[in-house]
Amino acid sequence: MISLQSPPLHLFRQRDKQSMKILIFNCGSSSIKFKLFNMPEESLLAEGAIERVGSEDALASLRTTHGKVESIQAIQDYPSGFAVIKSMLLDKDNGALASLSEVSACGHRVVHGGEDFGGSMRIDNELEAGIEAVFELAPLHNPPNLTGIKESQKMFGDIPQIACFDTAFHQSIPEVAFRYALPEDLYTHHRIRRYGFHGMSHQFVARRAAKLMGKHKYSVNLITCHLGNGSSIAAVRDGHSIDTSMGLTPLEGLVMGTRSGDLDPGILFYLQRKGYDTESLDVMLNKKSGLLGVSGTSNDVRDLELKAGKGDEKAALALDVFAYRIKKYIGSYMAVLNRVDAIVFTGGIGENGVAMRSRILAEMDQQGILIDGPRNDIHTGVEGEIQASTSRIKIMVIPTNEELAIARDTFKLSNSK
């Protein structure tokens, strides 16, 4: 393993004797991300990832108080990945644990909970069966999520394992918002409805916004914008999600890095008649559309900003389309909420996209939304308010921390009877 010279993160802290070490896993289709927290102090002890699982050149990384280490090696599957994570965490020179027994509980991000799971829950056989039951709703995510749970159970034995669902925060959405105008049996027999995603992120920033405003978490009305390669927006009334842009799948809603977002479903029938099959349409809408599709060159807002600055009209159009869709959703959610206390930006683009935030909120002064240029400029990945003094609605930048949100739920549930 190669040790890289890297200053320790300021968030890393030494363990208090009364603390619980909680390990958080986020297993994706080809990656395993993890963070080790001291709870309830919420200090970060270690973080790492296995990338390109299933390849001969997978990247394994770990960052602790000792710095950062990385290695490239063959990691063919998730059991192999978890074995590497165990080795890294227990490494006598660069690890964060002397023994696996120091870990008191594990928390897991699970993308889809269907209608059965409206909150984080302690994992048992019934819950595992529930996760498996909605595999078809999240075929790229729920299977590796469940695999990660099983590997964690093998590694740590009989300690609390907690599942935190990305759809759970949106289970408060009323039927008028989650139902599609489709035949009744498609809902009753196949559960086709709006579920929404990025729930841990929307909930985290909503709770943080309430705290920053000195309000109770259930007394705020917010529009939370999670903007990244995958993007979604939520309307939060009295601290509860009442609408969100993603639907049955993460494809609906905003324009994203490579996903189309909202479109006329008739387009699919038209293209099918032109010879496109289901698989090619799926790939096109999920992997070749969005910012990449419009620009023809990139799904990265940073790259597109540079290209647009040099006169690339397609790059400029992609950025404008991205911003326009968000602006439309903000306007519609203002109508749904009636009163809006704040608009919150989070996610990679939301936290760091200074120019994009300005583009989204331009010419909204009649709605009481005015962004302050200098304040916006200095809040790059930094928490704070960026509205002008005359703005009736607060505009906030709040870096998300989904892993910490999972750690909080894991700590709470692992200590409950």
Q: Which of 91, 158, 166, 312 is catalytic?
A: 166
Q: Is the dihedral of CA 123, 124, 128, 129 positive or negative?
A: negative
- 3-state DSSP of 2-37: EEECCCCCCCECCCCCCCEEEEEEEECCCEEEEEEE
d(CA 371, CA 140): 38
Active site (annotated) includes residue 166: yes
Tokens of 45: 């002890």
Number of Cβ atoms within 10 Å of the Cβ of 380: 11
Number of Cβ atoms within 10 Å of the Cβ of 382: 12
Residues 108, 164 contacting (CB under 8 angstroms): yes
- Looking only at the bridges linking them, the beta strands covering 384-385 and 342-346 are unpaired
Q: Select from 7, 1, 35, 36 the least CA-distant residue to 19.
A: 36
Give me the active site residues, please.
166
